[in-house]
Amino acid sequence: MTELEADIRTRYDIETFTARHPQAQIFRWVNDAYRDLRDRLTADGSLLFLQVVEDTCTETGVSAIGVPGTVLDATLGSFEIWEYVKEVHAKIGSAWVPLEEISIMDALTRTDLSSNGVPRYWFLAGVNRTSEATGGANASQAMRIAVSPPNDAARSFRIVGVQYVVDLVATDKLFTDLGLQEYLIRWNGVLLANRDDDVQLWQARKAELQECYQDILRRSKNRTPGRSVRSDTRTRGTRYVR
């Protein structure tokens, strides 16, 4: 991260502007850019950041009033873990079966909750989490993954998605393959132009950022080696072909 910060300061001539652009600000922008990139790539079909978690949900039946199904255990289905969920699978017999994603409103109408059964759908539900330390008062609220019909037995589930990442700090290492580092640098360039209220520069840098993103998306979905063009982050105007 400190090397990336140096690259950003060099690229945009802000080496001495530590008061106006402190390290904490640049790190915050880098973290925002990294999360944005992960979410965009995943939504556009890239598998680069997908992770898989498998665990057993022992709960059966309806988990909470107003939730038409079983909420998966926190180790599986809490959005304190996941930023983006792509698929949910249930182990039925010896096979992993993908569940259909529906909205909570659809879940309310697709079962009368009169009986539990083999889950066929998954949806997101906002569930209040209570704490005995606060006398049962709501401690926090998080989006949770639930399945419908309500689970009829202890069952294994598999979640495929992008997991939440805590903020990167100075000593953290970044995955720089495929031009990801370039995207983070250009994101900062866009925000710097916006802060300086330079509309033309902002538009130009925004277009460059989008071009960089499309290149990363293409290469992350097709890892066949090919020609790519990147900017040298330390020498302005110099370009090289790999």
**How does pLDDT run across 99-132, given as a tens digit for each residue?**
999 998 998 887 777 788 999 999 988 765 554 4
- Name the band, by pLDDT with cuts 50, 70 and 90, for residue 236: very low
pLDDT in tens, 188-198: 999 999 988 89
For 230-242, letters b (16+ CB in 10 Å) and e give ebebeeeeeeeee
Mean pLDDT, to the nearest integer, of 151-165? 90
Check residue 64 and report its DSSP letter: S
- Name the band, by pLDDT with cuts 50, 70 and 90, for residue 133: very low
Cα distances (Å, whole numbers) of residue 143 to 23, 40, 50, 165: 32, 20, 19, 16
- pLDDT for position 137: 54
Domain borders along the chain are 2-47+166-241, 59-153
CB 220 within 8 A of CB 228: no
d(CA 157, CA 52): 10
pLDDT in tens, 70-104: 988 877 766 567 888 889 999 999 999 999 999 98
% of the chain surpassing 70 pLDDT: 83
Longest dimension (CA), the chain: 68
Cα distances (Å, whole numbers) of residue 68 to 26, 73, 121, 127: 44, 16, 11, 12
- pLDDT for position 132: 46
d(CA 229, CA 218): 13
Q: 28: which 2 tokens? A: 């915050």
Residues in Cβ contact with 238 at an 8 Å cutoff, skipping those fewer than 6 apart: 231, 232
- Statement: the pTM of the whole predicted model exceeds 0.85: no
Question: Across all residues in the chain, what is the average pLDDT?
Answer: 83
Q: 75: which 2 tokens? A: 């180790």
Mean pLDDT, to the nearest integer, of 58-78? 81
- pLDDT for position 173: 79
Mean pLDDT, to the nearest integer, of 179-187? 93
- pLDDT for position 166: 79
d(CA 163, CA 172): 17
Rg (CA), the chain: 23
d(CA 34, CA 167): 10
Closest residue by Cα to residue 103 from 62, 68, 64: 68
Higher pLDDT, 8 or 170: 8
DSSP 204-232: HHHHHHHHHHHHHHHHHH-------EEE-
pLDDT in tens, 12-57: 999 888 888 899 999 999 999 999 999 899 989 998 889 899 999 9
Please, is 153 exposed, middle or buried when counting C-beta atoms within 10 Å of its C-beta (0-12, 13-18, 19+)? exposed
